[in-house]
């Protein structure tokens, strides 16, 4: 095919305009008359117009997944005994051509498959050859047959396959208006083909409607073993188990099994899953991941994480657009209601079992799936059992674990994207002065990061809090190496990570990130820059949570003073820092100062932010807390109830801040000696926290202490002991066996045991606490602790107190 | 070139054939669109992918609001911005390819436009090169491809922008397609 020079193109261009504006008969007449005067021009034009026809038919550049026409000029060429006629398909691996034999030996049309030119010499050839060898092993009436294979004169490998003239299985079923039973029978042919492949140790891995054609005589034919996997041999070196796409071949996410997405080993169960999706689509007309356009990330989440809607539910009119469900049912010669009833029960159970997230829970083989479908058709009891509710609940934890792995992958990808942008930004800055916009961009980067991280912030994720550390730890390493040349962005990222560590309760890590962020910003932006101050304020909060009171107070006082000067006395950021300062004072038992500061912040927030703003509510919580520690219980209860009401209404019952508010109300109620009500509120809150934050989160732990306290006050010792043991186990796990908190938990357990009169056990627990880091304050108070009253007079207790006093008089270890 | 060159000024200068201004305009718009994409995608509840059309509209509104009444008309802006978008999409495909090689899996997107679904980033890059060439020969044709293929505008929208009939746009599209196809096929003949 000759190419056109720019001049030639410009010369022919106006004629093309004319030709394209005409109808077919008009154009033919016009070309004829033009041809009499200028045959060369018309030859060229005809050539281009034919090309245009082909391009229109192919919808070149118009539909997704177009392939470049690297072989568009192949029509009419011969390959061995075959003449190529027209391109009939384009896939990730290459293109497929319709061809016929030219040696007159057979009157048979065939499909010739070429490897994609871009994949030549990149391992694609090997895979292509393997497809040939795989097909050569298979001979089944429902698998498209391999007829020949070869290499063209130009070195292009090709496969010659049985040509199936027909529709994809879903289109065929719809066009023929096949009912459910007929669809199942046709599907059983596909199962036969896949079972045959499995028997030959071949996993197809890409089962989907477009790879299952139904010929004109109604026979299902399985095609495209392009990414099929041989079960023997390959798994040993591990290279072929991951479905990454070194050859540019993307898997088809709509039919991918969870293990294909997560990179777990692919087995015959992978095909069982894809067949489950296919059956789902054939019977319901919808995809198990639900309706609507989805992004890849959403789809991945659905594949790995979301239990599919039951087939019988998805076909009802409530679930989807009425018109569509009615059409879907009509294509199955029924109504939505009847279709739903038909699917309910056995077919639901069969499909759900094929679609299990865990490959081990799917049908053990394609044959087992086929057997159940046969039983269904014969109206016999099927082998699969429906899920129970308890069973479904048990799945929850494991699924979330996978979700976290995915989130971390997504995060790392995002991080790569972010650093790319930063580099880009640097270049732009060299060209023009973009200083102000640069800063803007930076904060957008941070926004982006925050969004990424929110998956792991319990406030956002409602779960997964602890495993999310993996994401952060990886990110911390990245931020050191990747961004060392860009300190401002580095500081921003450290700030974000420091705050996420904080919200996960990992204070030392939070402190080290935030300290670096503050240092970098002081250097780069100066000590009074709002960003520097914001980071300092965050650091102050972390220090305060670590009970580093002096450091926290000093830092926060400086920060508040600077913010009042730089941002103004009512600026929301200034108020945040003031509130943090107040909390630090509170931690030092300086109640009047704390109360005054909190009250000031509350008033300003009500005015500046409005009464329903979460920060205003947080101020109310703080006030309630101050009232509580000042033992002004009626005021505390009222303030806390008001705060809780707003939080539950505005932020929702599962919000961590609402939960915190609930905890505090329980605490206040118990201080007012309203124990039964306190216990009820506390248990409600704890249930939600266990679910939302997980058992290891500090806030959950605080609630457990509160509950223990309430139960002890109620004299419900057995329950109290149960809770105390949980607290102790949790602290030992999270803080380590020598941590003062763990020792204190042991001490609390000891007192609970002592209250029940089990003296020896209580004493040995007390000894454990004293010997393993119990703090001096508690040591000294031990002799007078009423909770240990039952031990008074016991010589072992006296000995233990002496020992504790000795330890307390030693210089503090840290 | 003026150091304080604004985008309206750059568009004006580029239209008069100032090559340096055209380069500066390209990088300014590139940065702008990329930044906007990031921002849009960072919004709570944002889709994971963003259509190029939406992005261009937002970019126009954003910049028009910022630059004030001197900002050029939407049609003129889109002409430039669509070309920039092409560059952005090709770069994106290349980056994704690079990530892919880094071991992350790649998924066929369900809802991105045609360009995103191109089988190979090299093919996309090649389309970009041929379009660059076409823009020297018949700029109007190249622009239709940028607007339709890369940015996802419909014929009707492009016609309204260009103030020509829809049929003209369609004809230009068909011609451009023949041109591209021919050039690219010749490159990659077996």
pLDDT in the model for residue A429: 29
Across A141-155, A419-433, A722-736, A778-792, the highest mean pLDDT is recorded for A722-736
**Of B123, B51, B58, whose CA–CA distance to B93 is shortest?**
B123
Residues 6+ apart with CB under 8 A from A143: A135, A193, A196, A197, A221, A222, A223
Rounded to 10 deg, the angle between the B121-137 and B166-187 helix axes is 120
How far apart (Å, rounded) are the C-alpha atoms in residues A419 and A425?
10
Residue in chain B lying closest to A118 (CA)? B120
User: What is the rounded average pLDDT of the residues A699-705?
Assistant: 78
Q: Report the mean per-residue pLDDT for chain A.
A: 75
Query: Would you call A206 a catalytic residue per the annotation?
Result: yes
User: What is the rounded average pLDDT of the residues B46-54?
Assistant: 57
Q: Chain A contacts of B107, Cβ < 8 Å?
A: 250-251, 253, 296, 299-300
Rounded to 10 deg, the angle between the B121-137 and B74-101 helix axes is 150
- Tell me the H-state helices in A432-548: 435-454, 458-461, 469-482, 487-503, 507-525, 530-545
Q: How many angstroms separate the Cα of A261 from the Cα of each of A74, A253, A257, A275, A329? A: 37, 8, 7, 16, 32
Contact A433 B3 (CB under 8 A): yes
How far apart (Å, rounded) are the C-alpha atoms in residues A415 and A55?
40
Q: Which of residues 29-58 of A touch B (CB under 8 A)?
A: 48, 51-52, 55-56
Higher pLDDT, A787 or A246: A787
pLDDT in the model for residue A390: 32
User: How confident is the model over B51-95, as pLDDT tens digits?
Assistant: 666 677 777 777 777 766 666 667 777 777 888 877 777 776 666
Residue in chain A lying closest to B47 (CA)? A295
Q: Report the mean per-residue pLDDT for chain B.
A: 70
Q: Which of A13, A60, A412 sits opposite B175 (nearest CB)?
A: A13
pLDDT in the model for residue A636: 92
The number of C-alpha atoms within 13 Å of A577 and in the hemisphere containing its C-beta is 31
How far apart (Å, rounded) are the C-alpha atoms in residues B13 and A806?
85
A542 Cα distance to chain centroid: 29
- Check: complex ipTM more than 0.85: no
How far apart (Å, rounded) are the C-alpha atoms in residues B139 and A113?
37
Q: Which of A20, A61, A117 sits opposite B149 (nearest CB)?
A: A61
Strand partners for A220: A214
When scoring B109, B138, B149, B179 by the number of chain A Cβ atoms within 10 A, the one with the most, hence best to mutate, is B109
How far apart (Å, rounded) are the C-alpha atoms in residues A151 and A707?
77
**Of A162, A168, A134, A127, whose CA–CA distance to A148 is shortest?**
A162
Contact B175 A17 (CB under 8 A): yes
Q: Quote the radius of gyration of chain A (alpha carbons, Å).
A: 36
Q: Lowest-confidence range among A348-357, A595-604, A657-666?
A: A657-666
User: How confident is the model over A297-350, as pLDDT tens digits?
Assistant: 566 667 777 778 889 888 886 655 777 888 888 889 888 888 988 898 889 999
Contact B185 A73 (CB under 8 A): yes
The residue with tokens 């196809």 is: B181
pLDDT at A128 over 90: no
Q: Lowest-confidence range among A94-98, A599-603, A612-616, B171-175?
A: A94-98
* A72-162: CATH superfamily: Phosphorylase Kinase; domain 1 (3.30.200.20)
Q: Are B13 and B44 in contact (CB under 8 A)?
A: no
Residue in chain B lying closest to A426 (CA)? B31
Residue in chain B lying closest to A10 (CA)? B137
Q: Are A258 and A269 in contact (CB under 8 A)?
A: no
Strand partners for A202: A230
Strand partners for B107: A251
pLDDT in the model for residue A182: 93
Rounded to 10 deg, the angle between the A549-566 and A572-587 helix axes is 160
User: How confident is the model over A553-576, as pLDDT tens digits?
Assistant: 999 999 999 999 999 999 988 999
How far apart (Å, rounded) are the C-alpha atoms in residues A283 and A354?
14
Q: How many angstroms separate the Cα of A576 from the Cα of each of A518, A565, A600, B50? A: 17, 15, 12, 35
Structure tokens at A492: 């921003």
Residue A568 DSSP symbol: -
Structure tokens at A809: 């008089």
Q: Are A366 and A194 in contact (CB under 8 A)?
A: yes
When scoring B128, B155, B182 by the number of chain A Cβ atoms within 10 A, the one with the most, hence best to mutate, is B182
**Of B146, B140, B21, B10, whose CA–CA distance to B89 is shortest?**
B146
Number of other CB atoms surrounding residue A508 within 10 Å: 10
Identify the sign of the CA torsion A634, A635, A640, A641: positive
User: What is the rounded average pLDDT of the residues A769-781?
Assistant: 74
Q: Chain B contacts of A489, Cβ < 8 Å?
A: none
In this structure, what are the phi and psi dihedrals at residue A275, rounded to the nearest 5 degrees?
Answer: -65, -35
pLDDT in the model for residue A482: 55
How far apart (Å, rounded) are the C-alpha atoms in residues A732 and A711?
22
pLDDT in the model for residue A153: 59
The number of C-alpha atoms within 13 Å of B12 and in the hemisphere containing its C-beta is 10
Q: Which of residues 140-169 of A touch B (CB under 8 A)?
A: 152, 154, 156
Q: Quote the radius of gyration of chain B (alpha carbons, Å).
A: 17
Q: Which of A167, A170, A174, A206 is catalytic?
A: A206
Structure tokens at A555: 């830092």
Q: Which of B49, B106, B126 sits opposite A295 (nearest CB)?
A: B49
Q: Are A301 and A343 in contact (CB under 8 A)?
A: no
Domain coordinates in residue numbering, chain A = 6-58, 72-162, 166-387, 716-814
Higher pLDDT, A148 or B173: B173
pLDDT in the model for residue A106: 58
The percentage of residues in chain A with a pLDDT greater than 90, rounded to a whole number, is 20
Q: Are A777 and A761 in contact (CB under 8 A)?
A: no
pLDDT in the model for residue A277: 93
Structure tokens at A517: 């962020």
pLDDT at A386 over 70: no
pLDDT in the model for residue A586: 82
How far apart (Å, rounded) are the C-alpha atoms in residues A711 and A709?
5
pLDDT in the model for residue A71: 35
Number of other CB atoms surrounding residue A652 within 10 Å: 11
Chains A–B, number of C-beta pairs less than 8 Å apart: 185
pLDDT at A239 over 50: no
Residue in chain A lying closest to B138 (CA)? A10
Number of other CB atoms surrounding residue B62 within 10 Å: 14
Contact B117 A248 (CB under 8 A): no
pLDDT at A446 over 70: no
Q: Which of A51, A56, A245 sits opposite B182 (nearest CB)?
A: A51
How far apart (Å, rounded) are the C-alpha atoms in residues A308 and A295?
17
The number of C-alpha atoms within 13 Å of A803 and in the hemisphere containing its C-beta is 16
User: What would be the CATH architecture of the domain defined by A166-387?
Assistant: Orthogonal Bundle (1.10)
Residue in chain A lying closest to B93 (CA)? A248
The percentage of residues in chain A with a pLDDT greater than 70, rounded to a whole number, is 71
Kindly state the helix (H) or strand (E) to which residue A98 belongs, with its residue range.
strand A94-101
Contact B120 A298 (CB under 8 A): no
User: What is the rounded average pLDDT of the residues A287-296?
Assistant: 64
Taking CA A658 as the corner, what is the angle to CA A680 and CA A647, rounded to the nearest 5 degrees?
115
pLDDT in the model for residue A115: 62
First-to-last alpha carbon distance for chain B, in angstroms, is 47
Q: Which of A3, A16, A298 sits opposite B175 (nearest CB)?
A: A16
User: How confident is the model over A674-701, as pLDDT tens digits?
Assistant: 999 999 999 988 888 787 767 776 667 7
Domain coordinates in residue numbering, chain B = 7-187
Collapsed DSSP state (helix, strand, coil) of residue A81: coil
pLDDT in the model for residue A82: 79
Q: Which of B42, B101, B183 sits opposite A3 (nearest CB)?
A: B183
Strand partners for A83: A78, A100
CB-based contact (8 Å) between A451 and chain B? Answer: yes
CB-based contact (8 Å) between A764 and chain B? Answer: no
Q: Chain B contacts of A263, Cβ < 8 Å?
A: 105
Band of the pLDDT at B174, cuts 50, 70, 90? very high
Q: Lowest-confidence range among A112-121, A219-228, A391-400, B17-26?
A: A391-400
How distant is the Cα of B76 from the closest Cα of chain A, in angstroms?
23
Contact A245 B106 (CB under 8 A): yes
User: What is the rounded average pLDDT of the residues A266-291?
Assistant: 87
When scoring B22, B46, B108, B153 by the number of chain A Cβ atoms within 10 A, the one with the most, hence best to mutate, is B108
Structure tokens at A26: 């008009």
Structure tokens at A642: 């008001």
Q: Chain A contacts of B112, Cβ < 8 Å?
A: 64
Q: Chain B contacts of A13, Cβ < 8 Å?
A: 138, 175
Q: Which of B95, B103, B119 sits opposite A248 (nearest CB)?
A: B119
Q: Which of residues 221-280 of A touch B (CB under 8 A)?
A: 243-246, 248, 250-254, 261, 263
Residues 6+ apart with CB under 8 A from B98: none
pLDDT at A189 over 90: yes
pLDDT in the model for residue A426: 28
User: What is the rounded average pLDDT of the residues B161-172?
Assistant: 88
Contact A6 B137 (CB under 8 A): yes
Q: Chain A contacts of B42, Cβ < 8 Å?
A: 444, 447-448, 451
* 3-state helix/strand/coil string of A157-170: EEEEEECCCEEEHH
Contact A61 B120 (CB under 8 A): no
């Amino acid at each position: 095919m000759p190419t056109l020079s720019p001049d030639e193109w410009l010369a022919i261009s106006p004629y093309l305009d004319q030709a394209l504006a005409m109808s077919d008969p008009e154009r033919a007449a016009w070309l004829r008359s033009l041809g009499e005067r200028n045959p060369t021009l018309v030859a060229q034009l005809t050539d281009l117009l034919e090309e245009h026809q082909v391009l229109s038919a192919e919808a070149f550049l118009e539909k997704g997944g177009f392939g470049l026409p690297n072989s568009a000029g192949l029509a009419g060429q011969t390959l061995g005994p075959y003449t190529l006629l027209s391109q009939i398909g384009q896939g990730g691996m290459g293109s497929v051509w319709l061809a016929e034999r030219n040696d007159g030996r057979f009157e048979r049309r065939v499909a010739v498959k070429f490897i994609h030119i871009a994949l030549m010499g990149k391992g694609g050839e090997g895979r292509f050859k393997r497809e040939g060898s795989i097909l050569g092993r298979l001979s089944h009436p429902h698998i498209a047959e391999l007829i020949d294979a070869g290499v063209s004169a130009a070195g292009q490998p090709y496969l010659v396959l049985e040509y199936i003239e027909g529709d994809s299985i879903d289109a065929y079923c719809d066009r023929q208006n096949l009912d459910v039973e007929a669809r199942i029978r046709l599907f059983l042919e596909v199962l036969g083909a896949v079972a045959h492949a499995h028997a030959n140790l071949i996993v197809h891995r890409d089962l989907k409607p477009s790879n299952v054609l139904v010929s004109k005589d109604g026979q299902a034919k399985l095609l495209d073993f392009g990414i099929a996997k041989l079960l023997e041999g390959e798994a040993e070196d591990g290279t072929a188990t991951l479905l990454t796409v070194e050859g540019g071949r993307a898997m088809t996410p709509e039919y991918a099994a969870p293990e294909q997405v997560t990179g777990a080993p692919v087995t015959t169960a992978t095909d069982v899953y894809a067949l489950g999706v296919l059956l789902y689509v054939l019977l319901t007309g919808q995809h198990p991941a639900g309706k609507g356009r989805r992004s890849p990330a959403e789809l991945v989440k659905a594949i790995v994480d979301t239990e599919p809607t039951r087939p019988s539910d998805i076909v009802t009119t409530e679930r989807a657009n009425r018109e569509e469900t009615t059409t879907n049912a009509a294509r199955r010669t029924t109504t939505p209601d009847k279709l739903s009833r038909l699917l309910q029960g056995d077919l639901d159970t069969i499909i759900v079992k094929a679609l299990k997230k865990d490959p081990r829970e799917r049908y053990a083989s394609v044959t087992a799936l086929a057997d159940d479908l046969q039983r269904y058709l014969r109206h016999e009891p099927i082998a699969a059992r429906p899920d129970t509710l308890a069973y479904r609940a048990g799945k929850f934890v494991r699924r979330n674990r996978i979700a976290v792995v995915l989130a971390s992958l997504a995060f790392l990808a995002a991080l790569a994207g972010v650093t790319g942008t930063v580099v880009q930004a640097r270049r732009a800055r060299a060209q023009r002065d973009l200083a102000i916009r640069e800063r803007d961009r930076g904060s957008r980067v941070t926004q982006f990061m925050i969004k990424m991280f929110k998956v792991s912030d319990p406030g956002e994720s409602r779960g997964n809090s602890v495993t999310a550390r993996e994401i952060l730890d990886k990110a911390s390493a990245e931020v050191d190496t990747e961004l060392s040349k860009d300190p401002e962005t580095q500081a921003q990222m450290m700030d974000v990570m420091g705050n996420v560590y904080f919200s996960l309760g990992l204070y030392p890590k939070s402190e080290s990130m935030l300290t670096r962020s503050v240092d970098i910003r002081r250097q780069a932006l100066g000590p009074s820059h709002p960003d520097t101050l914001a980071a300092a304020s965050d650091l102050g909060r972390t220090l305060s949570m670590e009970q580093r009171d002096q450091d926290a107070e000093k830092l926060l006082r400086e920060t508040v003073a600077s913010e009042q000067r730089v941002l103004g006395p009512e600026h929301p950021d200034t108020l945040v820092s003031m509130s943090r300062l107040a909390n630090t004072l509170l931690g030092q038992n300086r109640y009047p100062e704390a109360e005054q500061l909190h009250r000031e912040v509350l008033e300003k927030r009500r005015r500046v932010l409005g009464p329903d703003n979460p920060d205003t509510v947080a101020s109310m919580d703080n006030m309630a807390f101050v009232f509580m520690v000042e033992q002004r219980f009626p005021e505390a209860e009222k303030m806390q109830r008001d705060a809780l009401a707003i939080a539950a209404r505005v932020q929702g019952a599962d919000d961590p801040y609402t939960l915190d508010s609930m905890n505090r109300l329980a605490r206040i109620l118990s201080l007012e000696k309203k124990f039964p009500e306190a216990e009820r509120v506390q248990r409600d809150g704890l249930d939600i926290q266990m679910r939302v934050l997980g058992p290891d989160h500090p806030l959950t732990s605080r609630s457990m202490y509160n509950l223990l306290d309430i139960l002890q006050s109620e004299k419900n010792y057995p329950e109290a002991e149960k809770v105390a043991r949980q607290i102790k186990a949790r602290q030992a796990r999270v803080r380590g066996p020598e941590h003062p908190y763990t020792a204190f938990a042991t001490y609390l357990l000891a007192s609970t045991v002592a209250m029940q009169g089990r003296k020896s056990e209580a004493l040995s627990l007390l000894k454990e606490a004293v010997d393993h880091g119990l703090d001096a304050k508690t040591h000294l108070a031990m002799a007078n602790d009423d909770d240990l009253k039952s031990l008074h007079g016991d010589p072992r207790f006296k000995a233990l107190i002496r020992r504790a006093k000795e330890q307390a008089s030693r210089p503090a270890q840290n | 070139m003026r150091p304080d060159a604004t985008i309206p000024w750059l568009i004006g200068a580029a239209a008069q054939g100032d090559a340096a201004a055209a380069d500066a305009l390209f990088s300014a718009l590139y940065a702008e669109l990329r930044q906007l994409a990031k921002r849009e995608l960072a919004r709570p509840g944002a889709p994971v992918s963003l259509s190029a059309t939406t992005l261009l509209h937002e970019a126009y509104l954003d910049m028009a609001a910022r630059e004030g009444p001197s900002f050029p008309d939407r049609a003129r802006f889109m002409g430039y911005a669509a070309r920039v978008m092409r560059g952005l999409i090709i770069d994106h495909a290349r980056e994704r390819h690079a990530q892919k090689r880094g071991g992350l899996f790649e998924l066929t997107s369900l809802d991105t436009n045609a360009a995103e679904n191109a089988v190979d980033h090299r093919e996309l890059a090649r389309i970009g090169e041929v379009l660059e060439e076409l823009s020297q020969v018949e700029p109007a044709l190249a622009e239709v491809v940028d607007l339709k293929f890369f940015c996802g505008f419909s014929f009707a929208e492009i016609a309204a922008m260009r103030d020509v009939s829809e049929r003209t746009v369609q004809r230009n599209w068909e011609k451009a397609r023949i041109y591209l196809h021919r050039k690219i096929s010749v490159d990659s003949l077996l």
